Amino acid sequence: MSAFSIRPIEDGDRPGILELIRGRWHDAIVVAHGVVFEPASLPGFLAVSDAGTVIGLVTYTVDVDVCELVTIDAMVEGHGVGRALVNAVVDAARQAGCHRLELVTTNDNDHALGFYRRLGFVVVEVREDALTESRRLKPSIPLANEAGVPIRDEIVLALSL
82 and 56 in contact (C-beta within 8 Å)? yes
| Chain-centroid distance, C-alpha 141 | 16
Number of domains the chain contains: 1
Predicted pLDDT of residue 1:
53
| Mean predicted lDDT score pLDDT of the chain | 96
CATH of the domain at 35: 3.40.630.30
Q: Is the pLDDT of residue 2 over 70?
A: no
Which domain range does residue 36 map to?
4-160
- Per-residue pLDDT tens digits for 65-102: 999 999 999 998 889 999 999 999 999 999 999 999 99
State the number of CA atoms in the 13 A half-sphere of 110 facing the CB: 5
pLDDT category at 26 given cuts 50, 70, 90 is confident
pTM of the model: 0.94
Going by DSSP bridges, is the β-strand pair 66-74/100-106 parallel, antiparallel, or unpaired? parallel
- Per-residue pLDDT tens digits for 120-141: 999 999 999 999 999 999 999 9
